[in-house]
Chain A
């Protein structure tokens, strides 16, 4: 049975090196800040062996946006959830891309940019994925009117 780590357990793992990055800890997730997120993810992938990035999604929380990462460790059979808050006041949401850590985020981040409008820095191919290139707007936002 895959052990889904609680928020407090994730905090325990991260506390040693990344104490000042943890912004909040919910019941089953940990929210971190955007700067130096790549170091944290590299630490999780290499030292804590979370080598499979299950999914990258985004949620429109009306006042801000959220990017949610589900990570799985094949060897330890554990999974955890990390969130990053961005775009306070719905202005200019921007997050660092994790393509250099996990290749599997490539197409998923393009889809988030396409449908939700969150920009990913240092992505090798930041283009729209599902909609055509001259489409205006981002359909999954709560204020999108077709």
Chain B
């Protein structure tokens, strides 16, 4: 009896595609033969828009690219501007933006893990536990800068506003409670038979394939490569902080989940060390003008965003707006290998793999 291949469109509007993402998948029964991603549904032309805004106004554009991790987007852009224009940031501003970036990393990884487990079918229970923790982080952000998600907190030279007095006790309370909550979630999920059965040895990614496809971030570390930009190429004051880098052994979906979970714990330790070292002072140097006018040149400073290596390639021609602003988007480049990773597995594995790559469509399409 002969069978037929079925080509199906898993359309841009779907409960499980983390945004507007379309795939054209070919099945033979339940096994996937081909999966072609089609993107561009959220393209807003951020790179062209950046050429018509001043360097400080572009910060608001960068917020909206990876909208689950605004602080790190801002940090990547501001570091590039500071290198281009030769501004030395003030100390307290740097410590504050490191605290903000690590808190943002915890929030972004919570969203990633929560929605991954949601795709596995645990009807929102672990997702809601993790989102409850993210709510506390968003309230902390609201205290710092007035906005929860698209913050625009950083400016060339530091941050634009100091944290109020009620921020520090709330932060300490959050740091005390979070490890217990993470233990609860780990007890529920990490050794759960069903999760192990669904994610182990599915969509394995080997080291050399990952490096060749320019994969970076937790996806690369889950395949066993020890490459973390905060450790190898420290920016801000990361050389004064010590932290461990969790690595995976096999490179399957389970490793990508475990690496993100342990990175949350490491981020908590980084925030505690920053709290010990921060000193009172100005958050932005006085001599930085409102309109930054860098000399001619170009700069590219990559940072370790929650999704991977994020960097802004800025070219300046001496004016008040960037001549060219290009975003090296980690989500787009990590998507290169989606097709190779899912061929041969079942329909159900497609969504779990896509969730474990942790893609954000705002960053893919810009």
Where the two chains meet, the residues of A that have a C-beta atom closer than 8 Å to any C-beta of B are 1-2, 51-55, 57-60, 68, 70, 74, 77, 81, 102-108, 111, 115, 128-132, 139-140
Contacts and interface: CB of A to CB of B under 8 A. Distances in A.
B215 A77 contact: no
Nearest to A52: B211
B39 interface: yes
Interface residues of B, number: 36
Nearest to A114: B40
A58 B40 CA distance: 19
Contacts of B332: 107-108, 111
15 contacts: A51-B212, A52-B211, A52-B216, A54-B300, A54-B311, A55-B300, A55-B313, A57-B328, A74-B225, A103-B212, A104-B212, A104-B214, A130-B43, A140-B47, A140-B48
Main secondary structure of the interface of B (DSSP, over half): mixed
A58 B315 CA distance: 11
A57 B259 CA distance: 30
B333 interface: yes
B315 A104 contact: no
B40 A132 contact: yes
B315 A74 contact: no
A55 B298 CA distance: 14
A52 B214 contact: yes
A57 B43 contact: no
B311 A55 contact: yes
B39 A130 contact: yes
A55 B209 CA distance: 17
B333 A102 contact: no
Contacts of B45: 139
B365 interface: yes
Nearest to B335: A107
Contact of A115 (B47, B214, B313): B47
B213 interface: yes
B343 to A, nearest CB: 15
B293 interface: no
Contacts of A129: 39-40
A38 to B, nearest CB: 15
